[in-house]
């Protein structure tokens, strides 16, 4: 799935399966540094935005490094992501910027990469701190404060509710730190506002599972007033579940990521709000940290553990 490029990024085969054009270049990469961007599902708009930003960034620094972009077919394909990192280790890649599909499961292969002298940076989803500490490793996380972002959108919802109103949380993959942090942010803000969290159900970042989770909550909790979803895919599923339950306008729905295709849902009030965590900037900042570390020959253990990226609450036209 990896193809090297001389002046541009080649986004690998799964991106073509997502309906996006992929061009192939066969000439060898220039001598020098190689950075790999290892992402989750390349069918997800958030990941596509990261890949596109990486391409644009590399064009400006083509003389300094070569870039490989890889991604899985689904959000949960951790074995494939592990194999990708193993391949990059064997290829003596200079640095890996990784959006882990699983915060714990990727730690052993990341440890092998670091022990092989490869700089590793995490974006989007932090690696598990306890697992890293057990191996005496430091892997910088370049990304937003997920608790803060979740609290922003939860506070916006809470301002439209009455104390004691019921709300549900549709979280991402339960083992992912960013999913856990968003759940904590949702829960703490809603509790502080006097709301009652009646259910927390994983939606595994997907539309179908988000829709199923929402439908179950609506059936079990007829007084539900809000569904806080940890990404926009699940929120879109929740919108359809609410419509099918004939509760549109009665149950507030929020998302996270600000995918371009949810704008009509925001503008018509079917979704109340989302959070933009600037996928493009995360990818660029991650690559920039990796390139700087390589250029300055910084050791992995000397890199800053957290480089925070911005967040912004996004609401509909009438909010």
Whether residues 226 and 114 fall in one domain: no
| CATH code, 122 | 3.40.50.2300
Does residue 3 fall inside a structural domain?
Answer: no
Residue 318 confidence (pLDDT): 66
Whether residues 136 and 261 fall in one domain: no
Domain residues for the domain of 269 are 146-276
Whether residues 103 and 210 fall in one domain: no
Tokens 């509710």, residue located: 161
Whether residues 56 and 199 fall in one domain: no
Does residue 315 fall inside a structural domain?
Answer: no
Q: Which residues of the chain have pLDDT under 50?
A: 1-31
Does residue 232 fall inside a structural domain?
Answer: yes
Does residue 125 fall inside a structural domain?
Answer: yes
Residue 21 confidence (pLDDT): 26
Tokens 């494939």, residue located: 80
Residue 2 confidence (pLDDT): 35
Does residue 317 fall inside a structural domain?
Answer: no
Rounded CA-CA distance 18/185 in Å is 32
Tell me which residue of 281, 150, 299, 170 sits closest to 224, measured CA to CA: 170
Whether residues 114 and 196 fall in one domain: no
Whether residues 95 and 78 fall in one domain: yes
Tell me which residue of 67, 57, 53, 50 sits closest to 5, measured CA to CA: 67
Residue 90 confidence (pLDDT): 98
Does residue 314 fall inside a structural domain?
Answer: no
Contact 109, 132 (CB under 8 A): no
Domain total of the chain: 2
| Cα 315 from chain centroid (whole Å) | 20
How does 218-244 read in b/e, with b if 16+ C-beta sit within 10 Å? beeeeebbbbbbbbbbbbbbbbbbbee
Give the list of residues 6+ apart from residue 81 with CB closer than 8 angstroms, or none. 38, 40, 72, 100, 101, 106
Whether residues 70 and 180 fall in one domain: no
Whether residues 18 and 113 fall in one domain: yes
Does residue 198 fall inside a structural domain?
Answer: yes
Whether residues 58 and 140 fall in one domain: yes
Whether residues 187 and 266 fall in one domain: yes
Predicted TM-score (pTM) of this structure: 0.86
Rounded CA-CA distance 93/252 in Å is 46
How does 13-23 read in b/e, with b if 16+ C-beta sit within 10 Å? bbbeebeeeee
Whether residues 111 and 191 fall in one domain: no
Contact 161, 225 (CB under 8 A): yes
Does residue 1 fall inside a structural domain?
Answer: no
Whether residues 157 and 244 fall in one domain: yes
């Amino acid at each position: 799935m990896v193809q090297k490029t001389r002046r541009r990024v080649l986004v690998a085969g799964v991106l073509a399966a997502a309906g996006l054009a992929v061009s192939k270049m066969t000439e060898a990469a220039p001598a020098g540094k190689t950075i790999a961007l290892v992402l989750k599902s390349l069918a997800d708009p958030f990941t596509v935005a990261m890949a596109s930003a990486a391409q644009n960034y590399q064009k400006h620094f083509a003389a300094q490094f070569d870039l490989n972009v890889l991604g899985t077919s689904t959000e949960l394909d951790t074995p494939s992501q592990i194999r990708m990192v193993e391949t990059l280790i064997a290829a003596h890649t200079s640095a890996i910027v990784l959006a882990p599909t699983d915060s714990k499961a990727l730690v052993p292969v990341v440890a092998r990469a670091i022990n092989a002298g490869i700089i590793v940076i995490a974006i989007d989803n932090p690696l598990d701190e306890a697992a890293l500490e057990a191996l005496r490793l430091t892997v910088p996380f370049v990304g937003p404060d997920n608790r803060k972002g979740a609290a922003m959108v939860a506070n916006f919802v809470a301002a439209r509710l009455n104390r004691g109103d019921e709300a549900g949380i549709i979280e991402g993959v339960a083992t992912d730190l960013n999913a856990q942090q968003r759940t904590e942010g949702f829960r703490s803000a809603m509790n502080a506002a006097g709301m009652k969290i009646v259910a927390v159900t994983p939606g595994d970042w997907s539309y179908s599972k988000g829709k199923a989770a929402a439908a179950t909550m609506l059936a079990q909790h007829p007084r539900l007033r809000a569904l806080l979803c940890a990404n926009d895919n699940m929120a879109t599923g929740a919108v359809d579940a609410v419509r099918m339950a004939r509760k549109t306008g009665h149950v507030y729905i929020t998302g996270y990521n600000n995918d371009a295709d949810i704008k009509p849902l925001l503008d018509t009030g079917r979704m109340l709000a989302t959070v933009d965590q600037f996928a493009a900037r995360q990818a660029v900042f991650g690559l920039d940290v990796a390139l700087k570390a390589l250029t300055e020959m910084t050791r992995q253990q000397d890199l800053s553990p957290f480089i925070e990226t911005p967040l912004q609450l996004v609401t509909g036209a009438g909010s």
